Structure 1
Amino acid sequence: MRLEFWMMTAILLVTMTRLTKARSWWRGEWRSSRIRWRDRAWLTIVVSVAVLSGTMLIVFAFDRDTASRGALQAVRSLIILSGVLFLSVPLAGWTHYLDFVVAPHLRSDDTPPYLRGSGPVPPNRAERRARSRRRLRLGAPTPGRTAIRFHRPAIRFRDRFRAYRLEIDGEPVGEIRHGGEVLIVTTPGPRTVRARIDWVESSPLTVLVRPDRTVTVLVEPGDETEYLRLAVHD
């Protein structure tokens, strides 16, 4: 019981620390995630975790044998509140019913037509991925630099906590993590790039590096036919 108590205490302290970012997030000066729904639901997630961890601390210190009926009812109410807050996370992230807890710059003034019972159905997963790849938020450009910039979009959960090893012309040049970027300065000419993880590797991709230009290569999980996929970002 003591271990669980201190774990919940640590989680509560972390969430309270995260709340110090609330003002910057609300003003649009800080982004909690590259994934839009997580950024929209950030405040709801943090508050939900804080309420849950606080409730668990109360439960751990609670003695049902000596507690009054009112205290028992208060604890039950806190548990129900925690559940309701967690159920509201997808509403804040994917719908517009809880826009009042979403930062103004992340809101949409108009309710989507499909939520009103008319209009086209939202795009499926494959279409959303294709749109996300077109809307990639890449780092600042590097004019006048002959280089290859590897970018790993934060749009797939697979291998989220693992790094991919990068190679140029068969030589290891570094690693790239979920949502990260790696800039490798090289010489002009055709270069063959590849990504690896464990014993799996992507198909080689040949890119033409022009003088004083930076070419961007996307590194992302593939499908059933290819575990890793590389593509040049236009």
Structure 2
Amino acid sequence: MGETTAQALITVHRPAAVWRDRARAYWIEVDGVRVVRIGADEQLDLPVPPGVHDVRAAIDWTGSPVVRVEVAPGGRARLTVRPAGSSLQFWQAFTRRGYLERTAD
């Protein structure tokens, strides 16, 4: 019989928003590829091969900085994504990586 490779998970949580982006979905990118959209007050489990992965959240032309996570076989990395700053900081929409905040839990 063939050997099976254990998967790993990246869990992404997006808390409910007061109003900024509440009706909009964010793209979650893993290793430079857009893999799934996440709405407000959602949590998603993304199966990935064990190892090191670069994760980023994006909306339109902007998003979060890339975070590098390492996930062991059968393990899980937990991330949270939300709007950065406040809705009064409109200038963030004009930056490539300052509009969204992504944190490792």
> Shorter-chain-normalised TM-score: which range?
0.7 to 0.9
CA distance in 2, matches of 1:203, 1:196: 9
Relative contact order (C-alpha < 8 Å, sep 6+): which is higher? 2
Q: Deviations over 1:33-88 (max 9, x none)?
A: xxxxxxxxxxxxxxxxxxxxxxxxxxxxxxxxxxxxxxxxxxxxxxxxxxxxxxxx
1:1-234 matches, within 5 Å, as 146-223=8-85, 224=89, 226-233=98-105
> Residue type matched to 2:45 in 1?
L
CA RMSD of aligned residues (A): 1.6
Larger radius of gyration: 1
Aligned residues: 90
Unaligned runs of 5+ in 1: 1-143
CA distance in 1, matches of 2:74, 2:19: 35
> Residue type matched to 1:220 in 2?
R
**Structure 1 pair 156–190 and aligned structure 2 pair: CA distance change class (3 A):** farther
The percentage of counterpart residues that share the same residue type is 36
Specify which structure has the higher proportion of strand: 2
The TM-score normalised by the length of structure 1 is 0.37
C-alpha contact (below 8 Å) 2:83/2:99 kept by paired residues: yes
C-alpha contact (below 8 Å) 1:164/1:177 kept by paired residues: yes
Shift of 1:157: 2.2
Unaligned runs of 5+ in 2: 1-5, 93-97
Following TM superposition, where does structure 1 have runs of at least 4 consecutive aligned residues deviating by more than 6 angstroms?
none
CA distance in 2, matches of 1:176, 1:194: 12
**Structure 1 pair 152–216 and aligned structure 2 pair: CA distance change class (3 A):** same
CA distance in 2, matches of 1:228, 1:216: 17
Specify which structure has the higher proportion of helix: 1
The residue number in structure 1 matching 2:95 is none
